[in-house]
Amino acid sequence: MVKYMKLRDKNLNEITRELKNILALAKKYWVSVVVFTAMALFSTVFGILASLVSQSLIDIVTGSSKGDSILNFDSIYGVIGAAIAFSAFKIIFNAVCGRISEKIKIKINTEMTAEIFDSFICSNWEYTSLYSSGDILNRFNNDVSTVSGSVIGIFPTFVSKAFQFLAAFGVVFYYDKTMALIALITVPLLLVCSRFLMKKMHSYAKELKKVNSKLMAFNSDALLNMQYLKSFGLVSVFCMKLRRLQREYIKLNLDYNKFSLIVTSIMSFVTQMVTYACFGWGVYRLWTNAISIGTLVLFIQLYGMLSSSFSSIIGIVPTLINSVAASERLTEIRNLPKDDDLNEPEAMDFYESVAGKNLEVSLKNVTFRYHGEEEDALKNVAFTAKTGDFVALTGPSGEGKTTILRLLLALIAPGSGIVSLKCEEAGETISVSPATRRFFSYVPQKNTMFSDTLAENMRLVKPDATDEEIENALKIACAYDFVKKEKDGIYCRVGDGGTGFSEGQMQRLSIARALLRDAPVVLFDEATSALDIDTEQRVLQNLAEWGKNRICIFTTHRTSVFEVCNRAYIVSGADCAPVM
């Protein structure tokens, strides 16, 4: 029992915390929320006035007016004119509201998406790498849409429906206190149901979002690796796997649907019984000539408003809980550890003071362990490279070579020890950080090209690069020969993931882009692994000439790379030992 109470309290605490986050967002967009609320309130007032006009019209037509109508019209023409005016105004008002609401929703959704994107992309790489692309896309799209919709929808809906309930209740109470009290019978039951619904829904909402993320991640992986799936005859395997995930998703949805239908049916039954009671009482009052036919119709309309407004307020609960679950997932992204750019001014000053001078990059007694791992990836590692050095890092796969490059790029931070850049001529040293990445260029193991022109892919690292500069970088990387054969040359299109080019061509394009950046330190992570021997030798010879005044660091298993290197380290068993 104690365990259950703790779990329940934790659940409610999570809901309360995320509700505060959603309210904080609502405050940020308070003008939009106020506009939305005002439109909703005006629509509610309009609805009640329309019901009163209907009452007057029926009473005039039937000649049974008891003089108890709030609105008094002198003739049938006046009430018909009012009805037509209301109808015309309603059409115009709904169109204007639809336009305004769409603008507000788009604005909030796009701003929130940009904010979450910025938060994720500025977070520490080690933590962002734990998320699949499908899961992140689900958060960027579905979760942001859910939360942004709640920001502009929940508060205005609650205020307008509460106002509608009170206004309708007030009119009914004005005409008949007994009917007003009968109409309130459903309130306690609906409140109890909503309390139960809130707890259960929170659990369902979280699980549904997890399964939905799994589906998106699966689809994303399958589409990106289509060639692999076909090559290994895995199409049927992945088709069956998709259906297993879909069955899990369907089961969860149907379980929730069953639960909500039971609760909704109970609430609807009670509401219907009260509706019959109100209708019976209204018929009795009409039979005793206490009210007119128009007033009876008014009662029916107003009770419909009472019922629908209260149901809408209760209906906010599922939307709210779904928003809470989405907000929790977005809060998780916002709370990821961020890249530390606090030494940006220091790094900029260092960059300017050492321009054209010799540099040294080093790791001193560095120990590093990946998040969640039990063993160190590197332990008390020492490594040094100076301007003019071509350094090879070799050793078994998975022993820490790429980890050293990540430390230099400040994608990860050492658990202990120092990773630094030094300039003896200027007498200055600075610890590496996200702000020092301007000193580095990088060729990753996985060749990363974006769906755009080749020229724009190249200019990602140097936006003001001329066509001649791009072509020169391509020539050094032995890539210009095949690029110039393309119909549009450097302006040819690159497909998703580099579709249209071979792995070897992709590597040379990645090398060319790294050279175009013209950084004093260039990191090559297995950058020639897909090249044939002749092409590799030509690329390495060009790099040897190009990199005389730079630091070039290679992770490699290929002996050909050693021919252009003057220093080498073996990285193995969390150690890094010099061999030449």
Distance, CA of 484 to CA of 474 (rounded, Å): 10
Give the Cα-Cα-Cα angle 407, 410, 416 (nearest 5 degrees): 55
The reply to whether 24 and 155 lie within a common domain is: yes
Domain range for 8 is 2-334
Between 226 and 452, residue with greater pLDDT: 452
Question: Are 219 and 284 in a shared domain?
Answer: yes
pLDDT class of 6 with cuts at 50, 70, 90? very low
pLDDT digits (tens, 9 = 90+) for 50-75: 777 776 767 776 666 544 556 666 66
* Stretch (H or E) spanning 376: none
The span from the CA of 179 to the CA of 375, in Å, is 73
As a whole number, mean pLDDT of residues 389-410 equals: 91
Whether 433 is covered by a domain: the verdict is: yes
Residue 358 lies in a domain: yes
C-alpha to C-alpha distance for 301 and 295, rounded to whole angstroms: 10
Regarding whether 147 and 12 lie in a shared domain, the answer is yes
Check residue 145 and give its pLDDT.
86
- Whether residue 206 contacts residue 199, with contact meaning beta carbons closer than 8 Å, is answered with no
Which segment of 127-136, 225-234, 467-476, 564-573 scores lowest on mean pLDDT? 225-234
- 149 and 295 assigned to the same domain: yes
> Is the domain of 286 the same as that of 412?
no
Q: Which of 287, 308, 334 is the last residue of a domain?
A: 334
Q: What is residue 286's predicted lDDT score, i.e. its pLDDT?
A: 78
Cα gap 150→19, rounded to integer Å: 10
Strands 575-578 and 567-572, how do they pair? Answer: antiparallel
**Strand partners for 202:** none
Q: What digits encode the pLDDT tens for the residues 316-329?
A: 777 777 788 888 88
By C-alpha distance, which of 45, 53, 57, 50 is closest to 71? 53
pLDDT digits (tens, 9 = 90+) for 436-455: 999 999 998 877 788 889 99
- Nearest Cα to Cα of residue 150 among 244, 32, 248: 32
Contact 560, 537 (CB under 8 A): yes
Alpha carbons 168 and 482: distance in angstroms, whole number? 76
Q: Among 267, 390, 355, which Cα is nearest to 317's?
A: 267
Asked if residue 439 and residue 298 are part of one domain, the reply reads no
Which of 284, 315, 334 marks a domain boundary? 334
Q: Is the pLDDT of residue 178 over 50?
A: yes
**Cα separation, 134 vs 142, whole angstroms:** 11
Let me know whether 330 and 354 are in one domain.
no
* Tens digit of each residue's pLDDT (9 = 90 or more) over 236-295: 888 888 888 888 888 888 887 887 777 777 777 777 777 777 778 878 877 888 777 777
CATH code: domain of residue 523: 3.40.50.300
311, 334, 357 - which closes a domain: 334
Residue 397 lies in a domain: yes
52 closest CA partner among 35, 72, 67? 72
Q: Compute the distance between CA of residue 234 and CA of residue 232 in angstroms, rounded to an integer.
A: 5
pLDDT grade for 194, boundaries at 50, 70 and 90: low
In a domain, 111, yes or no: yes
323 and 407 together in one domain: no
- The average pLDDT across 16-30 equals 72
Same domain, 434 and 520: yes
- The answer to whether position 339 is within a domain reads no
Amino acid at 55: Q
**What is d(CA 517, CA 460) in angstroms, rounded to the nearest whole number?**
9
457-487 burial code (b ≥16 CB/10 A, e <16): bbbebbeebeeebbbbbbbbbbbbeebeeee
Lowest mean pLDDT among 28-42, 232-246, 466-480: 28-42
Q: Based on the domain organization, do 251 and 231 belong to the same domain?
A: yes
Instruction: Give the model's pLDDT for residue 69.
Output: 59
State the CATH number of the domain containing residue 66.
Answer: 1.20.1560.10
Is 98 within the bounds of a domain? yes
Residue 54 to residue 114: CA distance in whole angstroms: 48
Note whether 396 and 532 are same-domain residues.
yes
- The verdict on residue 317 lying in a domain is yes
Considering the domain architecture, whether residues 90 and 230 belong to the same structural domain is answered as: yes
The answer to whether residue 458 scores a pLDDT higher than 90 is yes
Give a yes or no: residue 239 inside a domain. Answer: yes
State the average pLDDT over residues 103-115.
Answer: 85
Place of tokens 């929130």: 112
What residues contact 280, with CB distance under 8 A and at least 6 apart?
none
Confidence (pLDDT) at 9: 45
Look at the chain and report how many structural domains it folds into: 2
Q: Which residues contact 252 (CB under 8 A, 6 or more apart)?
A: 204, 207, 208, 211
